[in-house]
Chain A
Amino acid sequence: MNVQAEPLIRLKDVKKVFYTDEVETHALSDIHLEIRNGEYVSIAGPSGCGKSTLLSILGLLDAPTDGSYWLNGQPVSELSLSESARIRNREVGFVFQSFNLIGDLTVYENVELPLTYRGMKSAERKERVTEALEKVGVAHRKNHLPSHLSGGQQQRVAVARAVAGRPNILLADEPTGNLDSSNGEAVMELLRELHRDGATICTVTHDPRFAQHADRIINLFDGRLIEESASRPDR
């Protein structure tokens, strides 16, 4: 692959302002950011500095107030609602702090859910789901409801759900936030593995230990990018 190619993600002058009850919250200001294919980027910063907001813009859950965002070279502002849904479904994988598995669906059905939204044939879905569940090591619980699983297992299912669709980028917002440290470590290890296999990953994390896993750490403070550090210059 050509290293000179267009970055997977490019943000220029991105700004996000929330207006609530006559209060303007400048959640993000002057964000310039590029993420290349195969990179592992970690976003760090104190609570309320805008990490989740940034991630939601990257994942097309929300639109910037100002500035431009190119995903795979395509300007995101020109996308219709259904095109954004399609991109969320095919090109982005999400892992959330609170797992966000759907309580009425089994583990298998949870992982299958995003695939059903793209009208994939059931045989192919089955193959992908099984593969993803095996990769995260919860294949044996596939017929259980999420409430019967431990937090660590639930988050691994969430990771399986995020990767089953083979997205271009995996976005994770504090994926270890609701886990004890050993489970947290296991999930981060899982992400690292996925990265080694070639996945592009962008995580938000408090924990400096886990931030170190990334190629690059982006520090946010009060909605601004204050520095970018290469965490592992050795690589």
Chain B
Amino acid sequence: MRVLAQDLKFGIRTLVENPVFTLVSVLALAIGVGANSAIFSVIDAVLLRPLPYYESHRLVKIWERQPQLARGSVAFANFRDWKDQNHVFEEVAAYQTGDYNLTSGDEPEQIQGVAVSSNLFTLLHAQPSSGNTFLPGQENQGSSSDVILSHDLWANRFGSDPSLIGKAINIDNKNYVVVGVMPDKFYFPGKQFQLWLPLSINPNSPMAGRGMHYLQAIGRLKPEVSLEQAKAEMDAIGGRLEQQYPRDNSGHGVNVFSLQEDSAAGIRSSLLMIQFVVGFVLLIACANVANLLLARATARQKEIALRSALGASRTRIVRQLLTESILLSLLGGTLGLALAAIGIRLLVTLSPGGIPRIEESALNGSVVAFTFLTALATGIVFGLAPALQISKPDINELLKAGSARGSTSAASNRLRKLFVVIEVALSLVLLIGAGLMIKSFVKLVSVSPGFNVENILTGSITLPNSKYKGSQRAVFLQQVLERLQTDPRVIAAGAVSHLPLAGNGPSFNFDIQGRPATIPGQEFKAQLRATSPDYFRAIGIPLLEGRQLTVQDSSSSPNVVIINDVMAQRYWPNESALDKEISIDKDDKGSPIWRRIIGVVRGVRHTSLELQPEAQMYTPYTQFSMPYITLVLHTKTAALDLTADVRHAVSAVDRDQPISNTRTMEQVVSESTAPRRFNMVLLSLFAGSALFLASIGIYGVISYLVTQRTREIGIRSALGARRFDILKLVISQGMALALIGAGIGLAASFALTRTVSSLLFSVSTTDPLIFLEVTGLLLGVALLACYLPARRATKVNPMIALRCE
């Protein structure tokens, strides 16, 4: 114990006496460890930590596998059969998410909610904080009007009113009785969902059939049943249903995933890539620290030889050196923790929407443990090698005056150089990855979406079925748009059912007048949007052929449709599409409703900026009603200035009608690229850290070599070497290492970038320009890192040559 205290005291003293060494090592460790902890905390929150439900490992998500689609929504009839026929689940529940207009209270508000089968809460073992949950067997009534509120909604909207239970609130213009409030931090299926209603499906409606896919399903495995058993049985059931109902189910099956895995399915690969990347950063940091320790150890060879000459055992010396590196690790770990805390906040802020539970990332016990274990492992592993190497050299040889460059130092120089080569190679791989992502991103944001994004304000309205039917929606919309059009700051005001780049919208099969009906698998298909007449003008989609919609295209006038150039090209490649007739639906008697093509507009990128425009068709709201409306205003001034005016226009027409998500088109486009931006920023950040660490590494090694070779440099200078000769001598030595590292890094990049091809956009995984530029950047930084010690070398006084060693 006394010995340990002595080791510690001495260790602290050496660290304090070498502030630069200590600072650089601690910083390198902190960057490496901090980056890993930050990412680990996200992975812990998103992927590892059990979901906050009772025995959540038994929860699974059940999908209807469809052709080309592993995770397809579920048809009600199929769900019912799964439920009845399986022996593996304790419970199975279905739900459907949606937007609800809440009008109780002061301001109408659009809220995301979930219609759930009544056994959902039983399945989750979730208890309300007050009131009740739904009672099993409540579904299928088609009339239930109970609602359960989230704690947040209850607190924010209803001021935590304890007497709310049993009272009615107005949702979508209908009265619902609040039967329960869930506890704080209960979320299902995600944080944004704030109310739960019973899922009511009329068993006789088409919604209860096998052709309409709109449900999500979860199940709880029986305690003794494994995920594999469940998969097998559901596979069998799916196969049976496919045989039984070939018309709706051919090509369909069942996929079962653990709920935990499923909830992070989209982000998993991206997070694991980033974990891999920060692993690289840590390796680089380790190489750095190892190098610094090696340099220190070499510098202390004499001291150590002296100690062993004085009788210190080898273990004693190794322990002393290890104490020092462990001290360093702990310091690095502590600073790393601080960096991680900043990093986590940055990650959560930067993260695109839709990463479940990312906001729960925090410096909790497991992250702290992870941090210190990583730091300690680093310190011990990379402190041990130099400690062992240094504690064994021949005492005699070292104490002999004059033999300054023994064989041990040659060996450790080789090791040092090897570390630098590895650092450079690793950083180049990361930098090239980052370069490819940056280029992808730049390419992506410079893609024209096919519409105008400047000075455009958008806002969403959902008109509930319970209040607005058919043509009433068009009337409501017409009144809102008329109000907005009178504003002198508005150039054009329009509306569309599904705004491009703001989520998917429906695609519809259609028939063409005069062509045979399509057969399954070869349907004519296009995205369908309902629009107001001025939508194209407001968003800047040019008309290529024919005419625009007008207010004369009303519910009583002939049915018309506008299509885009992609659709025109695909279905009428050699003729004009104008005046052709298509049908997307049937009337009450089952005969097709024909709609005449009156115009062709340019296609827009709808699903994603990354995908070419697909076939699109637009019907007027007056002739094809949809409950979703996104207002689109082209303004003369800054678009956001009109936010309040839009709200007023809507509430002037219907004071209970909320408008949500008011944002500019620029924001819409930017949010659509958020996941890619997240990956890019992260990779760039870590590649930057890697470059920084590698340059510290090069700098450290070259500085050390300069110190080691001070005398030689003095001699060369005495013999007439000019400043340039000395610079060349030192820099070429460092650059040789950098070049070897770059060569290895380039080869590795060629092999590795292929694995990220799915993260790139219109950039080849071996884009020569990026490879060249990034290598140039790395070598430039390496040159600078060599130049600083080289400059110091030129200041060596040649007088040193006259002095005896």
User: Which residues does A use to contact B, with CB under 8 Å?
Assistant: 52, 55-56, 59, 61-62, 81-82, 85-90, 92, 94, 96-98, 100, 102-103, 113-114, 117-118, 161, 173, 177-178
Contact = CB atoms under 8 A, between A and B. Distances in A.
Interface string B780-805: 00000000000000000111011111
B768 interface: no
Contacts of A102: 712, 715-716
B725 interface: yes
B720 A90 contact: yes
B718 A88 contact: yes
Contacts of B719: 88-89, 94, 113-114, 117, 161
Contacts of B805: 98
Nearest to A91: B720
B514 to A, nearest CB: 87
A100 B718 CA distance: 10
22 contacts: A52-B802, A55-B802, A56-B799, A56-B802, A82-B722, A85-B720, A85-B723, A86-B720, A88-B719, A94-B719, A96-B715, A96-B802, A97-B802, A98-B805, A100-B711, A117-B719, A117-B721, A117-B725, A118-B720, A161-B719, A177-B804, A178-B804
Interface in B703-724: 711-712, 715-723
A61 B799 contact: yes
Contacts of B405: 103
B752 to A, nearest CB: 36
Interface of B: 405, 711-712, 715-723, 725, 797-799, 801-805
Nearest to A173: B802
A113 B716 contact: yes
Nearest to B800: A61
A88 B801 contact: no
Contacts of B721: 85, 89, 117
Contacts of B799: 56, 61-62
Most A C-beta atoms less than 10 A away, residue of B718, B725, B802: B802
Given A100-B715, A102-B715, A103-B405, A61 B720 contact: no
A85 B722 contact: yes
Contacts of A81: 723
Contacts of B798: 61, 88
Most A C-beta atoms less than 10 A away, residue of B405, B711, B720, B797: B720
A82 B723 contact: yes
Contacts, number: 67
Contacts of A59: 718
A178 to B, nearest CB: 8
Contacts of A98: 804-805
A61 B719 CA distance: 10
Given A56-B799, A100-B801, A114 B720 contact: yes
B723 A61 contact: no
Contacts of A61: 718, 797-799, 801-802
Contact of A117 (B711, B720, B797): B720
Contacts of A56: 799, 802
Contacts of A161: 719
Contacts of B802: 52, 55-56, 61, 96-97, 173
B480 to A, nearest CB: 80
A25 B204 CA distance: 110
A85 B797 CA distance: 12
B125 to A, nearest CB: 74
B504 to A, nearest CB: 67
A173 B718 CA distance: 13
B720 A96 contact: no
Contacts of B804: 97-98, 177-178
Contacts of A89: 719-721
Contacts of A118: 720
Given A56-B799, A94-B801, A117 B718 contact: no
A52 B720 CA distance: 18
A118 B719 CA distance: 11
A117 B802 CA distance: 20
Contacts of B723: 81-82, 85
Contacts of A94: 718-719, 801
B651 to A, nearest CB: 81
A86 B722 contact: yes
A149 B600 CA distance: 91
A222 to B, nearest CB: 19
Contacts of B715: 96, 100, 102
A82 B797 CA distance: 14
B722 A96 contact: no
A159 B699 CA distance: 36
Contacts of A87: 720
A61 B716 CA distance: 12
Contacts of A86: 720, 722
B587 to A, nearest CB: 94
Contacts of B725: 117
Given A98-B805, A102-B712, 5 more contacts: A61-B799, A103-B405, A117-B720, A117-B721, A177-B804
Contacts of B712: 102-103
Contacts of B797: 61-62
A178 B805 CA distance: 11
Contacts of A55: 802
A35 B722 CA distance: 27
Contacts of B716: 102, 113
Nearest to A113: B719
A55 B801 CA distance: 12
B567 to A, nearest CB: 73
